[in-house]
Structure 1
Amino acid sequence: MAGIDNITGRILQVAQGEVDKVLAAAEDQAKEILGKADLKAESIAKAAGARSEQQTKLYAARVKSSAESTRKKALLSAKQEIIDSVIDKAYNQLINQDAASYFEMMQKILAKTVRAEKGTIALPAADLARVPDSFKKAVSKIAEDKGGELKFAEKAANIDSGFVLSYGGIEENCSLRSIFAANRDQIQDTICKVLFS
């Protein structure tokens, strides 16, 4: 799946610029929060002349701790936004790539999911309109190489990309959306390592 890796690499490069902007904005916001907390702590300390110095310091420490917690939440939220954006961009680039690259990717996914049984493969309506004969031949060969047989379903699958395999009434959803969902944690971990390490 070198094509996916290349696309993901390009998306990650573009996302790095977004990461820097969002993190800088979050850091500015965090500094502003901490600055306000310091001012509030000073104000409280001055106003609390009757309170003991220790109580004032404890309260000021709690205010700073709360501000730091707010800063960390803002950074975490910004990072999650970036990760979601990168995943969405990767998904959209994969489903919108040229037909040759798209169906080559589908062949690779099929090679990993096909069984040594007789079954059917259903494509979404959008893919049925653009499926090349070379893909149809490749589907038959991939199935035969595994000791199985696949015929194209007459009805379109109710998915936006990928395919659905059916063996004896049991369906296996191989849409890109379901593949992304099944691997979301791994994808997020990879993005985090690349962008935030």
Structure 2
Amino acid sequence: MNGIEKITARIGADAQQEIDALLAQTNVQVQEIAAEYEAKAARAAKEILDKGEQDAAVREERLVSAARMDARKAMLAQQQALMDQAFRKALDDLLNLPDKDYVALVASLIVEASQTGREEVVFSQKDRPRYGKAAVTRANELLGDRGHLTLSAQTRPIQGGFLLSDGDVEVNCTFETLVRMQRRTVERQVAQVLFEG
């Protein structure tokens, strides 16, 4: 398993763990919402039955259907909010890694993304002075004889991670992009778990 796969697997595992914890909480909330709507539908149905059995059956069916639809909408909104929260937390966790871990992670990602070993590494204005030199130096060490990466004097408005520039070709390895790519992959699996449960 290469570095990027390890990182994306770690992001996926962290996100999955967060989602599992939040899913348990959501299931309780969803059951409460469903019970509330079912209770409302049952009360309305009883009132209608007092007025007329046939009309009541039709109305009850509509109310139960509407209640189920409302409960499903509420559940979907809650599930989406939980996924948003889990992936925001994954990004925050990456951005708040201890300095040593951050440099090691970025250096391994640089090595994975490097095609020639001669690219320029572009960081954010905040990260360049803090991690740039150490990460590029470590990446060059990992690349061995192939390691001729340079720290770009330019910075970009990114939250974390880096861009790898080789002339007109740029590889986006920002944490935002890596988490977004991982989310696309994991979100389908998470949605299946949430919707089947």
Q: TM-score, normalised by structure 2?
A: 0.79
Query: Deviations 1:68-87 (Å, cap 9, x if unpaired)?
Result: 12112212221221111111
1:46 corresponds in structure 2 to 50
> Offset of 1:194 from its aligned partner?
7.4
Is the 1:4–1:94 Cα contact (8 Å) retained in structure 2?
no
Query: Deviations 1:139-176 (Å, cap 9, x if unpaired)?
Result: 3245566x574221112222111111111123222110
Q: TM-score, normalised by structure 1?
A: 0.79
> What number of residue pairs does the alignment pair up?
192
Q: Quote the RMSD (CA, aligned, Å).
A: 3.0
- Tell me, in whole angstroms, the C-alpha distance in 2 between the residues paired with 1:170 and 1:10: 31
> Offset of 1:3 from its aligned partner?
6.9
Secondary structure of the residue aligned to 2:155 is coil
Is the 1:111–1:142 Cα contact (8 Å) retained in structure 2?
yes
- Structure 1: gaps spanning 5 or more residues: none
CA gap of 1:112–1:10, structure 2 versus 1, over 3 A, is: closer
Within 5 A, what are the aligned runs for 1:83-162? 83-116=83-116, 118-131=118-131, 134-142=134-142, 149-162=148-161
- Tell me, in whole angstroms, the C-alpha distance in 2 between the residues paired with 1:133 and 1:43: 74
> Offset of 1:182 from its aligned partner?
2.3
- Structure 2: gaps spanning 5 or more residues: none
Secondary structure of the residue aligned to 2:72 is helix
1:81 corresponds in structure 2 to 81
Is the 2:121–2:164 Cα contact (8 Å) retained in structure 1?
yes
1:183 corresponds in structure 2 to 182
Higher relative helix content: 2
2:38 corresponds in structure 1 to 34
- Tell me, in whole angstroms, the C-alpha distance in 2 between the residues paired with 1:155 and 1:100: 23
